[in-house]
Amino acid sequence: MRLFRIMRILRTALRAIRRNPMRTALTMLGIIIGVGAVIAMMEIGSGSSNAIAKTIARMGANTLLVLPGAATSGGIGFGAGSSMTLTPQDCEAIIRDCPAVKSAAPLVRARGQVVYQDRNWVPMSIFGTTADYLKVRDWTDLAQGEIFTDKDVRNSTKVCIIGQTIARELFQGSSPIGKEMRVLNISFKVVGVLSSKGANMMGMDQDDIILAPWTTIKFRVGSSSSSSSQGSSSSSSSTSSSPSQLYPNSQTSLYPVPSETQAMDNPQLARFTNVDQIVTAANSTAEIPQAIDQITALLRERHRIRNPKDDDFNIRNMTEMTNALSSTTTLMTKLLLAVALISLIVGGVGIMNIMLVSVTERTREIGLRMAVGARAKDILRQFLIEAIVLCLAGGIMGIALGCGGSYLVTYFLRWPTETSMAAIVASVIVSASVGIVFGYYPAWKASRLDPIEALRYE
Amino acid sequence: MELIELKNICKTYYMGDIDVPVLKGITLSIGKGEFVALMGASGSGKSTLMNILGCLDHPTSGEYWLEQREISKVSADERAYLRNHKIGFVFQNFNLLARTSALENVMMPLSYTREHLSDSEVKQRAVELLNRVGLNDRLHYEPSKLSGGQQQRVAVARALINNPSVLFADEPTGNLDSKTSEEVLKMLQKLNTEENITIIVVTHDPNVARHTQRQIHIHDGLIVNGQTSQGGSQ
């Protein structure tokens, strides 16, 4: 019974809408443009917002550094990263077992002179790592050549990738690819040149870098004595030697060994290959906390640590950058919301105007309907439903227009856009609400007409 | 008991400080099946009287009995209900919905009834009525495709869709030429005599009044002469 009445009211509204296609089109135009603008803004906006987030993420906002814990010797602490507890196997396990981690790479540092022909240079960083390092840093696009492979890592091949600064300083414009240069007196073949990344947030030149397989840096550069071509990283032949040397053959240990007591407190396999740190990247900014939890749990299990106090590693994230990222995203969202609201209000006022004109234009019809028995609330309902139907129809067309518009923007301007289901659902709801809110006044006005005067209206 | 009984109906419009009395005590009764003409010059109050009779307006004072029910003080919604169920209107300018077929125009009042007729019943009734006014071949024509006489006949069919007790026609031939006027009046006469429908025609045209059984003259808000008369004399 109820359904039947609703159907009848709806049909009356549809009939009235169909009766004047021009007016209907004009009424809907307001909402079509309003909703279309909202959808297009949301799609273009969320695309841009994502692009900004990606750009900031490229700066390393999602990067997590896993550092070995602090060693103490005779009551003297040596600061973060001074004990040797992280292994390349830890890194492999992180990649394997932590779903929130996008990629991870071990890092072995060295420092020293590089020489090519008659030129020399001391790079800011000489890193031994795997190819995944570039994934972590979001730096996979090389200017020339290619990245070294996992096979190079296994075989400790003497290959390296160099940053733009080194290419400029040592090779002076000629292509470095395939050239041999000496890093701490070991000869390396240059296989690739990184793209330029500029300075980091602390103002350090990130292009002043040499990347090589970590096994090569660890076993060939770090301790030139172990020059045998032992391959696999799981080899236990390497003792816990110092990872880098300023001068060849000088056995200066940069990192203090854990004290006896400490070693007793944290019993571990005595011999293993350590790395200086593990760099990882979380899937997204939002997943950083999960990534930290997963890595912590994994490393505790692998290092057999029960008590969190005894952690022999610590994890650092880029809080400052993450905050910048999330505040940028929030700001973008608020901006979009404001723009969307304004355009919907403009659309709603348009609807109200045309509905008011329509009420005036249809005064006689309203008078007639009242004369044949329509109550004031019947008239109110009829006009309200007309407004809602118009707004919903306009809303649906607006969605098509908005999606089409943002597609065209992507197609012609190459702007990033992103289809947002939430925006579509929201605009359907909002356009119906706009119909109710802005349709109510004209409908109320229609229902207040005096039938006698309405019938006489010319 | 008569169909319509008016007892000392007064209607005063208040325009700012000035009271404008339009009806000054109308007492009138109209029986079932009568065909009445309500006559008077413009400004005499005949339109106001028709609005009150048609439940479009309520009197300032006095009693209005329609089918043994006093309705001079009922609410607006109740009046709408009465208009829907007891009263049919035919207007001078037809007042058909534009770009809407004759059939849908006739069906329109049924969308405000509280009874729930199925779609097919509604349609069947409308077709029947259009047949009765001789428009069975124009069911799906829009008003703009119909002549004035045909439009007025659609309006008559619309007025009859709810089986009203009384049919009001406000200058039904005012916009028609004399030939079609004659046709429409003949049709009203036929409805009156064959189906015993009570019809009240508001007019200032003696030629229209001639077709009715009884003329009621109104002058300055009072009934001058309300006798039953057969034939044509004024």
Nearest by CB to A375, from B56, B80, B85: name it.
B80
Q: Which residues of A touch B77 (CB under 8 A)?
A: 375-377
Q: Is B77's CB within 8 Å of A368's CB?
A: no
**Chain A: nearest CA to B115, how far in angstroms?**
10
Q: Does A115 share its domain with A45?
A: no
Final residue before a domain boundary, out of A317, A337, A366: A317
Nearest by CB to B95, from A9, A20, A455: name it.
A455
Q: Is B76's CB within 8 Å of A1's CB?
A: no
Q: Does A37 share its domain with A172?
A: no
- Of B202, B213, B222, which is closest to residue B6 (Cα–Cα)? B222
Residue A138 lies in a domain: yes
Beta strands in B40-92, from DSSP E residues, in sequence order: 61-66, 87-90
Residue A1 lies in a domain: no
Domain that holds residue A311: 63-317
pLDDT digit string, tens, across residues B166-190:
999 999 988 899 999 999 999 999 9
pLDDT at A222: 64
pLDDT at B229: 45
Mean pLDDT of chain A: 81
For residues A375 and B77, the answer to whether their CB atoms sit within 8 Å is yes
Percent of chain B at pLDDT > 90 equals 54
Residue A332 has pLDDT above 90, yes or no: no
Q: Does A13 share its domain with A156?
A: no
Residue A166 lies in a domain: yes
Q: Does A129 share its domain with A263?
A: yes
Q: Is A372's CB within 8 Å of B85's CB?
A: no
Residue A286 lies in a domain: yes
- Of A295, A385, A354, which is closest to residue A93 (Cα–Cα)? A295
Confidence band for A238, pLDDT divided at 50, 70 and 90 = very low
pTM over 0.90: no
Q: Is A373's CB within 8 Å of B100's CB?
A: no
Q: Is A371's CB within 8 Å of B54's CB?
A: yes
Whole-angstrom distance, CA of residue A163 vs CA of residue A276 = 21
Is the model more confident about A80 or about B35? B35
Percent of chain A at pLDDT > 90 equals 15
pLDDT at A242: 43
Confidence band for A1, pLDDT divided at 50, 70 and 90 = low
Tokens of residue A253, six digits:
């240990």
Q: Does A42 share its domain with A129?
A: no
Q: A98-102, A284-288, B152-156, B186-190: which range is least confident on average?
A: A284-288
Span A311-336, average pLDDT: 80
Q: Is A373's CB within 8 Å of B54's CB?
A: no
Whole-angstrom distance, CA of residue A130 vs CA of residue A147 = 9
Q: Does A51 share its domain with A146?
A: no
Q: Does A273 share its domain with A331?
A: no
Q: Does A126 share its domain with A173?
A: yes
For residues A328 and A56, the answer to whether their CB atoms sit within 8 Å is yes
Q: Does A163 share its domain with A298?
A: yes
Whole-angstrom distance, CA of residue A47 vs CA of residue A410 = 10
Q: A285-289, B57-61, B194-198, B217-221: which range is least confident on average?
A: A285-289
Q: What angle do CA A125, A128, A130 make, to 5 degrees?
A: 125
CA nearest to B159 within chain A: A372
pLDDT digit string, tens, across residues A46-102:
787 778 777 777 777 788 888 887 777 777 777 766 677 888 888 889 999 999 999
Q: Does A360 share its domain with A431?
A: yes
Q: How many domains does chain A have?
A: 2
Q: Is B54's CB within 8 Å of A369's CB?
A: no
pLDDT at B230: 44
Q: Which domains does chain B have, with CATH numbers?
A: 33-56+75-225 (3.40.50.300)
Residue A444 lies in a domain: yes
pLDDT digit string, tens, across residues A393-421:
888 998 999 889 888 888 888 878 878 78
Q: Count of CB contacts below 8 A, A vs B?
A: 66
Residue A301 lies in a domain: yes
pLDDT at A262: 61
Question: Positive or negative CA dihedral for A248, A252, A255, A260?
Answer: positive
pLDDT at A230: 34
Q: Does A270 share its domain with A331?
A: no
**Chain B: nearest CA to A372, how far in angstroms?**
5
Final residue before a domain boundary, out of A267, A286, A317: A317
CA nearest to A371 within chain B: B83
Q: Is A452's CB within 8 Å of B112's CB?
A: no
Span A288-295, average pLDDT: 90
Q: Does A201 share its domain with A297?
A: yes
Adjacent-strand bridge partners of B28: B6
Nearest by CB to B95, from A18, A364, A375: name it.
A364
Residue type at A380 in one-letter notation: L
Span A255-281, average pLDDT: 66
Final residue before a domain boundary, out of A317, A350, A366: A317
Three-state SS at A313: strand
Residue B147 has pLDDT above 60, yes or no: yes
